[in-house]
Amino acid sequence: MKFYVDTADVEEIRELSETGLLDGVTTNPSLIAKSNRNVFEVLAEICDLVDGPVSGEVTATDRDGMVTEGRRLHEVSENVMVKVPLTWEGLKACRILNQAGIQVNVTLCFSANQAVLAAKAGATVVSPFVGRLDDIGQDGMALIHDIRLVFDNYQELSTEILVASIRHPMHVLEAAKIGADICTVPPQVLRALATHPLTDTGLEAFLEDWKKTGQNILGET
């Protein structure tokens, strides 16, 4: 499974990219607003740090406006993936951008039916939002299971499932068990994947025992 980080904080991305774990980045208008920076400057800096897709989202709501904004965002870098909403106009824009050779992330997906339409429209990835479904008492991961099942029935569908609105590490684990292609996670969740209290206590015990030996691996005094 591929990992994207969901943030527009360039310094966070710079630090996380040093691990070699990042396959891409997703941003949205809310994250850009939080950064208090120009969207094109932010996307350009992120693209310099990450080799994989970097999602930049349109703000227009009509087909022509989305296509125009999408083309402008894609001018920043070849690896900018244009994000459009899963609306009727967004599907039209997806098709046009896809035919122009531009990768498209169809976002705000909340049903398997929507996901199939996005795939048929040529989406590179479709982004179902599991956390927001959980928030209203529905099972977000059940949606991922349904989309995976449907996509696997039709091998001609090449759209990848990008699980979004991830709130905690269990969302990532469940998505991986179902077979989602990508998870986009907030920085704090990505870091949480590497932590476990037994790792911390085990390391502490090893170091205490090593200290008692008086040895130094580098031979320094």
> Once rounded to an integer, what is the mean pLDDT over residues 192-215?
96
Residue 221, pLDDT score: 61
Structure tokens at 95: 């098709």
Residue 220, pLDDT score: 73
pLDDT-derived band of residue 17, with 50, 70 and 90 as boundaries? Answer: very high
User: Which residue blocks in 6-125 are alpha helix, DSSP H?
Assistant: 10-17, 29-35, 39-49, 63-74, 88-99, 112-120
Enzyme catalytic residues = 83
* CA gap 180, 133 in Å, rounded: 17
How big is the CA angle at 47 (ends 39 and 119), to the nearest 5 degrees? 85
Least confidently predicted of 117-121, 124-128, 158-162, 215-219: 215-219
Structure tokens at 19: 């691990």
- Give the DSSP per-residue string, 91-114: HHHHHHHHHTT--EEEEEE-SHHH
How big is the CA angle at 188 (ends 184 and 194), to the nearest 5 degrees? 90
Domains, the chain, in order of start with CATH, read 2-195 (3.20.20.70)
* CA gap 104, 218 in Å, rounded: 51
> Once rounded to an integer, what is the mean pLDDT over residues 86-111?
98
| pLDDT digits 0-9 by tens, 25-80 | 999 999 999 999 999 999 999 999 999 999 999 999 999 999 999 999 999 999 99
Is 123 in contact with 105 (CB distance < 8 Å)? Answer: yes
* CA gap 83, 50 in Å, rounded: 17
pLDDT for 109 beyond 80: yes
- Residue 84: CB atoms within 10 A of its CB come to 29
